[in-house]
């Protein structure tokens, strides 16, 4: 199977069999987040999950969480950020827009506060690298070594459709778990070929930032920097999810099994970014009426329209301001 349909099928399967928040294509580095993109991130809900879901359905910006804007007493917005006023302005506006901050005016000044305390809401993070065909491994080994030496996620998994041999297992770090995800379209199952070994996420790690011929740029990443990046990743996953595509304007497409883009002409799930007039099967039509937020909300713990937000929008909250 191609990588995109494999990834979507795995996400749909994990969504149906776990309570995890799942997201595709999440930056998994610290000094260079986009140097390492994790195919699928599984975020295990922790004790404060319901409080997090109540806050907003969107990603909360890290700068808003780390700012000195607290709960209860509101603060003059400029005094709550240790950044440029321009950046602070953007963060405040976004935090208000998504319902994490509330603001009010007092003698010509704008004051903000958090609508509720930011909770400790997630547990284990599991990073999955998809490689349906192990005969075409690319730089798989390097990617997995990066993940293990950095230790940003609690577990690293390689997921494949291939039959896994001992030679394959010997080539990848022993901490990496291996899943075989295969079977008929409606009955794919995960076979655990090798269990993963939990990584040390609360100690410093080593990040491979760049690699040239005979030379590697490696940085040490502190435990605090890792913790901060883990929260960013969890937030990004919460806001993003895995249905990160729009359905094409083609008569051959339909939504299947909770929002998978199935093409009748190709007889399989397709990547909508490749759809269009260049495709020989293209049949101009309105895109299907699919509500991907509804699919996510009805199948996962993620809440599309939290009640707390609705209450705030009807103006039932009141708050005090600092003098």
- Only one of the segments 12-20, 46-54, 109-117, 263-271 lies at the binding site for ligand SF4 (rule: CB under 6 A); that segment is 263-271
Residue 281 sits in the site that holds ligand SF4 (CB under 6 A): yes
Q: Which of 9, 53, 233, 270 binds ligand SF4 (CB under 6 A)?
A: 270
| Closest to ligand SF4 by CB, 262 or 319 | 262
- From candidates 63, 282, 290, 297, binder to ligand SF4 by CB under 6 A: 282
Residue number with CB closer to ligand SF4 (157 or 270):
270
265 part of the interface to ligand SF4, by CB under 6 A? yes
Stretch in the footprint of ligand SF4 (CB under 6 A) among 55-63, 113-121, 125-133, 260-268: 260-268
C-beta of 238 vs 245, nearer to ligand SF4: 245
- d(CA 70, CA 56) in angstroms, rounded, equals 17
Contact present, 4 and 243 (Cβ < 8 Å): no
Would you give the binding string for ligand SF4 spanning residues 50-89, x where CB under 6 A is met?
Answer: ----------------------------------------
> Which token pair is 157?
């998994």
Q: Are 160 and 138 in contact (CB under 8 A)?
A: no
Q: Does residue number 266 form part of the binding site for ligand SF4 (CB under 6 A)? A: yes
Binding flag, residue 279, ligand SF4 (CB under 6 A): yes
x-or-dash string of contact with ligand SF4, 195-234, rule CB under 6 A: ----------------------------------------
Kindly state the smallest distance separating residue 236's Cβ from ligand SF4, in Å. 28
CB of residue 161 vs ligand SF4: minimum separation in angstroms?
21
Binding footprint of ligand SF4, residue count (CB under 6 A): 12
Rule CB under 6 A: is residue 263 a binding residue for ligand SF4? yes
Please list every residue from 237 through 256 that binds ligand SF4, using CB under 6 A: 248, 250, 252-253
Out of 115, 275, 292, 303, the residue judged to bind ligand SF4 by CB under 6 A = 275
- Closer residue to ligand SF4 (CB): 237 or 269: 269
| Nearest distance in Å: CB 185, ligand SF4 | 17
Residue 144 touching ligand SF4 (CB under 6 A): no
Tell me how far, at minimum, the Cβ of 25 lies from ligand SF4, in Å: 20
How far the first Cα of the chain sits from its last, in Å, is 63
β-sheet bridge partners, residue 122: 45
Question: Which tokens belong to 260?
Answer: 């998978």
Task: Give the integer Cα–Cα distance in Å for 319 and 74.
Answer: 8
Tell me which residues touch ligand SF4 (CB under 6 A): 248, 250, 252-253, 263, 265-266, 270, 275, 279, 281-282
């Amino acid at each position: 199977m191609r990588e995109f349909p494999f990834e979507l099928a795995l996400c749909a399967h994990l969504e149906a069999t776990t309570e995890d928040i799942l997201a595709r294509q999440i930056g998994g580095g610290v000094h260079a987040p986009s140097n390492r993109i994790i195919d699928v991130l599984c975020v295990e809900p922790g004790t404060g999950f319901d409080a997090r879901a109540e806050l907003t359905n969107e990603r909360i910006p890290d700068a808003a969480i780390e700012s000195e804007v607290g709960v209860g007493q509101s603060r003059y917005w400029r005094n709550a950020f240790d950044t440029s006023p321009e950046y602070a302005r953007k963060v405040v506006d976004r935090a208000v827009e998504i319902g994490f901050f509330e603001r009010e005016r007092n003698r010509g000044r704008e004051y903000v506060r958090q609508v509720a305390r930011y909770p400790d809401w997630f547990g284990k993070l599991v990073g999955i690298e998809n490689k349906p065909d192990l005969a075409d491994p690319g730089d798989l080994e390097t990617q997995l070594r990066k993940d293990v030496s950095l230790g940003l996620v609690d577990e690293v998994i390689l997921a494949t459709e291939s039959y896994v041999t001992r030679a394959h297992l010997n080539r990848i770090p022993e901490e990496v778990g291996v899943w075989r995800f295969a079977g008929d379209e409606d009955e794919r199952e995960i076979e655990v070929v090798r269990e993963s070994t939990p990584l040390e996420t609360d100690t410093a790690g080593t990040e491979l930032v760049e690699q040239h011929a005979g030379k590697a740029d490696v940085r040490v990443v502190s435990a605090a920097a890792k913790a901060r990046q883990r929260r960013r990743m969890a937030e990004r996953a919460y806001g993003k999810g895995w249905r990160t595509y729009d359905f094409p304007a083609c008569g051959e497409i339909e939504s299947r099994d909770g929002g998978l883009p199935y093409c009748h002409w190709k007889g399989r799930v397709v990547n909508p970014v490749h759809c269009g007039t260049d495709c020989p099967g293209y049949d101009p039509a309105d895109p299907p009426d699919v509500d991907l937020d509804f699919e996510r909300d009805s199948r996962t713990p993620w809440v599309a329209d939290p009640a707390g937000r609705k209450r705030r929008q009807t103006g039932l909250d009141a708050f005090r301001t600092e003098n």
